[in-house]
Amino acid sequence: MRKAIILLGLVAAIQLMAQDKSTVTVKGSEVNNGVVILTVQQAATPEQSAESFVLHCNKGMSDCKILAAGTYLMVRLPKNWGMYDCANVDLYPTTADPATSEKLGEYCLIRK
């Protein structure tokens, strides 16, 4: 039993380390029918071109926040992690370390 717990801990740690992190800019936010919608722009990097998308969350959920326009660190969670049935992401302040910092919110990523 102890070996199984250690193995599960190692698997979880590897998946957390494999998270995809990027800097994004929140251009605007709105609430529509109980859904918080953030319009986001991801800057171009050598590995990836610039991209625009929308982040959704259900207003009233504990990690659903309306964020002010600005720059944030976005962490894409591994498949089947998070509270939504979609690609889940967490947003942090740009200078934060996701391993030790509290997230600002959790959202469902919707590509435009």
Quick check: 55 and 85 in contact, CB under 8 A? no
Residue 26 in 3-state DSSP? strand
CA triplet 74, 16, 105: central angle to 5 degrees?
A: 35
How much is the pLDDT for 13?
A: 47
Q: What is the pLDDT along the chain (112 residues), one digit of tens a residue?
A: 665 555 444 444 444 444 689 999 999 999 999 999 999 998 877 777 788 999 999 999 989 999 999 999 999 999 888 888 889 999 999 999 999 999 999 999 998 7
pTM of the model: 0.77
